[in-house]
Amino acid sequence: MQSQEEKFESLIEGIVANGYGVCDDFLSSEEVTMLNARFTERFDDGNFKEAGIGKQSEVHQAKEIRGDKILWLENGTTNIAERILLDKNQAFINYLNQTCYLGIVDAEIHFAKYDIGKFYRRHRDTFQAQKGRILSVIYYLNNHWQTENGGNLLIYTQENNIEKTISIAPLAGRLVCFQSEKLDHEVSETFRERLSITGWLLNV
Ligand code: OGA
Ligand code: MN
């Protein structure tokens, strides 16, 4: 088993070499179970909102671009499951700041639920007023995900001026991290309910 530091290192190696890193079992199965339970609890409270793509007035247009429902986490939450996630995310931030001098000072993080048939078309995470986003982080919570469930994260990279598509399944416990400003990506249509926690590490 990799130590937490080895996991951080492998993510950073990926980011430096390719602009993105993938780490499996970043969350343990117990942590995934707790987060799934908390996710359901918060979803059932009815506070999730259709995600937008910028200004409030554009939410209806946004549906053709992204179909997830989201709820932002609060930094000061005392819920155990949310604390585990936020504290792990903070440990990663601290490691990034100490080893890569990224000057990350804050993070914004939301739960995201894609129902069957939903997707998020090709985009970058730094559109409009999303200033200060250095790294995007996505924690996946989907146990027993199968290829036929779709819902892959597709990352577009350039190799010798040729575009390459990397396809990453949203497997429970997996963390994907990429440079927010640099990489186009999308979520392909999902054929099963797809749960994740998405965040941005900010330098302002
Ligand atoms: C996003 C996003 C990717 C994913 O929320 O901006 O690109 O795999 N999510 O959920
Ligand atoms: Mn995105």
Q: What is the CATH number of the domain that holds 139?
A: 2.60.120.620
pLDDT per residue over 131-152, tens digit each?
799 999 999 999 999 999 999 9
CB contact set of 14 (below 8 Å; sequence gap of 6+): 20, 21, 22, 177
User: Which ranges of 64-165 does DSSP label H, i.e. alpha helix?
Assistant: 80-100
Predicted TM-score (pTM) of the model is 0.96
Nearest-atom number in ligand 1 for the CA of 51 is 5
User: Average per-residue pLDDT in the chain?
Assistant: 94
Query: Is residue 98 in a domain?
Result: yes
Host domain of residue 31: 4-52+64-202
Query: Is residue 59 in a domain?
Result: no
Give 164's strand partners: 157
**Token code pair at residue 51:** 């995600």
Query: Is residue 71 in a domain?
Result: yes
Domains identified in the chain, total number: 1
Query: Is residue 102 in a domain?
Result: yes
CB 114 near ligand 1, within 6 Å: no
Query: Is residue 68 in a domain?
Result: yes
What is the pLDDT averaged over residues 25-51? Answer: 97
> Which of 73, 120, 168, 189 has most ligand 1 atoms within 8 Å of CB, for mutation?
120
Query: Is residue 58 in a domain?
Result: no
Q: What local confidence, expressed as pLDDT, does residue 6 receive?
A: 98
